[in-house]
């Protein structure tokens, strides 16, 4: 009696979700963020928003260098002179050096690199929260897609901040967070600098970007939005507290 070998049963292929091109996805991030993530499981497009954010940051730094960034530095130098930490002659030499092309180019490149690193760290935090803490099937590449694309929400904030900095001739005071509600103290205080930095993390555009991050992480990981929201908000507050601590340590005053 002969037996016919049975052929292995191949499971049906998972249907590939239709994707979007980078321009369609960029528009959808603002118009329909809940539906802007389709196709990203099979497409790698994080490079577009990352390059766009780096480009915007470098152009912003170059445009604001003489108008707002150097005046902020000059204000800090004058405080150092008033506190006896340096002399006016040293400040004059430093300011003359900062007016050259090399410091401008170095700052532009540095801010661009910092933007890329910040997106990589944001993706790491999203991956840790959604992939590790919640235990979902969520790779770092998908977390990078979420971090990079949701960062596009901050582009309008960059233009608004640039307009305020241009009119005020100061980037330090052109903030859109809740820190603008606090008065400026005549005597610098490290604690108040930390509190103000923490509140500056919380603003309409940062909250909007956080909501888009939650939508994206939930869509690409398959996790329910509620636990994703709890984890994302918690990590956002951790980042804000870390930034506030750094501002308090590096800020003037006691």
| Res 1: pLDDT | 46
Mean pLDDT over 178-200 rounds to 74
Structure tokens that stand for 61 in this block: 């730094």
| Res 187: pLDDT | 63
User: Which comes out higher in pLDDT, residue 48 or 199?
Assistant: 48
Q: Is the pLDDT of residue 81 over 60?
A: yes
- Residue 239 sits at the vertex; the CA angle it makes with 218 and 26, to the nearest 5 degrees, is 45
153-182 burial: b if 16+ Cβ within 10 Å, else e:
bbbebbeebbebbeeeebbeebbbbbbeee
CB count within 10 Å of CB 44 equals: 11
62-73, pLDDT tens digit by residue?
999 888 888 888
Residues with Cβ within 8 Å of residue 209, at least 6 apart in sequence: 150, 151, 153, 154
86-104, pLDDT tens digit by residue?
777 777 777 777 777 888 8
CA 130 to CA 229: how far, in whole Å? 10
Q: How many CA atoms lie within 13 A of 156 on its CB side?
A: 10
Listed by start position, the domains of the chain span: 43-250
């Amino acid at each position: 009696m002969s037996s016919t070998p049975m052929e292995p049963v191949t499971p049906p292929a998972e249907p590939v979700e239709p994707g979007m091109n980078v321009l369609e996805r960029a528009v959808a991030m603002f118009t329909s963020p809940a539906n802007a993530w389709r196709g990203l499981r099979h497409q790698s497009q994080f490079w577009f928003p990352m390059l766009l954010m780096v480009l915007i940051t470098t152009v912003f730094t170059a445009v604001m260098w003489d108008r707002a960034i150097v005046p902020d530095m000059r204000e800090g130098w004058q405080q150092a002179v008033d506190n006896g930490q340096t002399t006016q002659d040293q400040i004059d030499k430093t300011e003359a050096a900062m007016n050259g092309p090399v410091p401008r180019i170095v700052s532009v490149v540095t801010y661009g690199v910092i933007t890329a690193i910040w997106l990589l760290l944001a993706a790491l935090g999203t991956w840790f929260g959604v992939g590790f803490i919640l235990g979902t099937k969520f790779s770092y590449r998908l977390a990078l897609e979420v971090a990079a694309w949701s960062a596009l929400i901050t582009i309008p904030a960059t233009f608004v901040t640039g307009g305020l900095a241009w009119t005020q001739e100061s980037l330090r005071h052109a903030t859109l967070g809740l820190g603008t509600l606090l008065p400026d103290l005549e005597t610098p205080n490290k604690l108040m600098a930390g509190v103000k930095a923490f509140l500056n993390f919380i603003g309409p555009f940062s909250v909007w970007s956080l909501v888009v991050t939650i939508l994206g992480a939930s869509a690409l990981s398959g996790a329910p939005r509620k636990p994703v929201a709890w984890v994302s908000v918690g990590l956002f507050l951790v980042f804000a507290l870390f930034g506030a601590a750094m501002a308090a340590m590096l800020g003037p005053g006691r």
